[in-house]
Amino acid sequence: MNIGENEYREYVLIRRAITLAHPLNNLGSNALQMLCNEMSKAFLHYCIAYGQESTYYSVVRILLAALYFQSGHYQAVNNWCEEMLNRISDECHSLCSIGTECMPHIDEDVDSVFGLVVFYEYVQRQVLNPDVHQQQQSTLAFTTELLAHYLYLECPTVDKSKSSRLTKYQQHLCKLKQPLLCDVLLFKEMKMQLNSECAEIPAGNARTSDASPASNSTDRDSSLLVISLELVSLE
């Protein structure tokens, strides 16, 4: 099998994972939601185990981090984000982005950033430049590594180092020649949260970290997938 076929197979696995993860909030069954989440993780883990992931390295890991964040497995989020950030610490020129249509739901802050950018584009298109057709369709996107900084900071297990992590987040953002609007707004939101002692805890952090996977959270744990299948079968 040549390299092109390997990359295509990896791409198919990622698309399947995205398809399963994207509609989670629209399902009526909690068990079915959990099953879709675990199946999505399984596809991404298989993508990593398959061994041909250089093209989509950060995409696979940020999707895994977002899915684990969604289910409250914060140690796994930390591990995936740290692996990403350690690898690209000296490779800022090779960063990639991920569209919002590919991301599972993370929290209200991310949703607010999306809404603000959409509103800004609408005003710019309809009011400031009514005769100019929309030319950019990929504005609603995040740089994967910057989103990893955000997820890492949002996890309740890194409270002791949030100040230093925020500094690294800012330094990473400043290194980009053309940062995405969503990246800038999300960083500002995080900075305001950490600078305000009275800031409310985001809804995503209300979950406890008791559900964290075993010590090496980058390994695939199929127990939740099995439980999800059993629950859906019972329903």
> Given this model, what pLDDT does residue 147 score?
93
> Given this model, what pLDDT does residue 87 score?
81
Q: What is the mean pLDDT of residues 187-213?
A: 58
- Per-residue pLDDT band for 112 (boundaries 50, 70, 90) equals confident
Q: What is the mean pLDDT of residues 199-214?
A: 43
In tens, the pLDDT along 14-73 reads: 888 888 887 555 555 677 788 888 889 999 998 888 765 567 888 999 999 999 998 889
Cβ count within 10 A of residue 220? 14
Cβ count within 10 A of residue 70? 21
Report the C-alpha gap between 34 and 225 in whole angstroms. Answer: 8
Pairwise pLDDT comparison (62 vs 116), residue with the higher score: 62
Domain boundary assignment for the chain? 56-202
pLDDT at 228 over 80: no
Contact 37, 211 (CB under 8 A): no
